[in-house]
Structure 1
Amino acid sequence: MPKTIVTPPGTGTPIAPFSPGTMADGIVYVSGTLPFDKNNNVVHVGDVAAQTRHVLETIKSVVETAGGTMEDVTFNHIFLTDWANYAAMNKVYAEFFPGGKPARFCIQCGLVKPDALIEIASVAHVGRKG
């Protein structure tokens, strides 16, 4: 099945060989999203809540560009650099998923830029409903 590259308007050039999202058969795969501006600089250094909001807004733009909404997100892969940020991340995360929550996992790890505190990759089903 063919895939479609999903790139929201205004997206900067990725720091590695990947697309912000791809869609195949109504499923959107959103690449690992870091708290970067369009020049790949980390935003909101030291503030995991603001970084989480930035990351989820970026994911939302990919999903919406593909024709979906955050309600279509079915799975999130969450990467934190420090478990001490777990509660603050969850508070913001819950704002983006107020109804039925997507499945997810969360791990602690290092990220590509030291000032980045969080990374999230998502899967959304924007095709057939039901």
Structure 2
Amino acid sequence: MPKQVIIPPGSGVPLAPYVPGTLADGVVYVSGTLPFDKDNNVVHVGDPAAQTRHVLETIKGVIEAAGGTMSDVTFNSIFITDWANYAAINQVYAEYFPGDKPARFCIQCGLVKPDALVEIATIAHIGKAA
């Protein structure tokens, strides 16, 4: 099946050559999502919970634009800059996945902009081919 590029309304221009999401064979692949506004400025500087909420809302927009919901998420790759933010990030994360949780991993690393505290990449199976 051919792939379909997913760009929700209001998306900014990416910093690098990628798109917010791709749908192929009923699977949505959401690019690594940072707490950026449409001009690629970091939002909620210093607040890991607010940044996580912003990232997950952005991911939700990509999945919904592809025809899915957050309950379709099967895997998340989470990148954080400091383990001290882990609890705050998890608290917000749990709000978006209240039932059965998706599989995931979480690592500490540097991110593309120093004020960004969290980045999440997602896979969702929406059961709908492109």
What TM-score does the superposition give when structure 2 sets the normalisation length? 0.97
CA shift digits 1:65-116 (9 cap, x unpaired): 0000000000000000000000000000000000000000000000000000
- Whole-Å separation in 2 of the counterparts to 1:101 and 1:45: 28
Residues 1:121 and 2:104 are matched in the alignment: no
Q: Say which SS state the counterpart of residue 63 (structure 2) adopts.
A: helix
Q: Which runs of 5+ in 2 are unaligned?
A: none
In structure 2, the partner of 1:20 is: 20
CA shift digits 1:17-65 (9 cap, x unpaired): 0000001000000000000000000000000000000000000000000
RMSD across aligned positions (CA): 0.6
Of all paired residues, the percent bearing the same amino acid is: 78
Q: Say which SS state the counterpart of residue 119 (structure 1) adopts.
A: strand
Letter in 2 for 1:7: I
In structure 2, the partner of 1:35 is: 35
| Runs of 4 or more above 4 Å deviation | none
- Whole-Å separation in 2 of the counterparts to 1:38 and 1:87: 27
- Whole-Å separation in 2 of the counterparts to 1:115 and 1:59: 19
Q: Which runs of 5+ in 1 are unaligned?
A: none
CA-CA distance at 1:127 after TM superposition: 1.2
Q: Say which SS state the counterpart of residue 60 (structure 1) adopts.
A: helix
Count of matched residue pairs: 128
Alignment of 1:25-104 (within 5 A): 25-104=25-104
Letter in 1 for 2:48: V
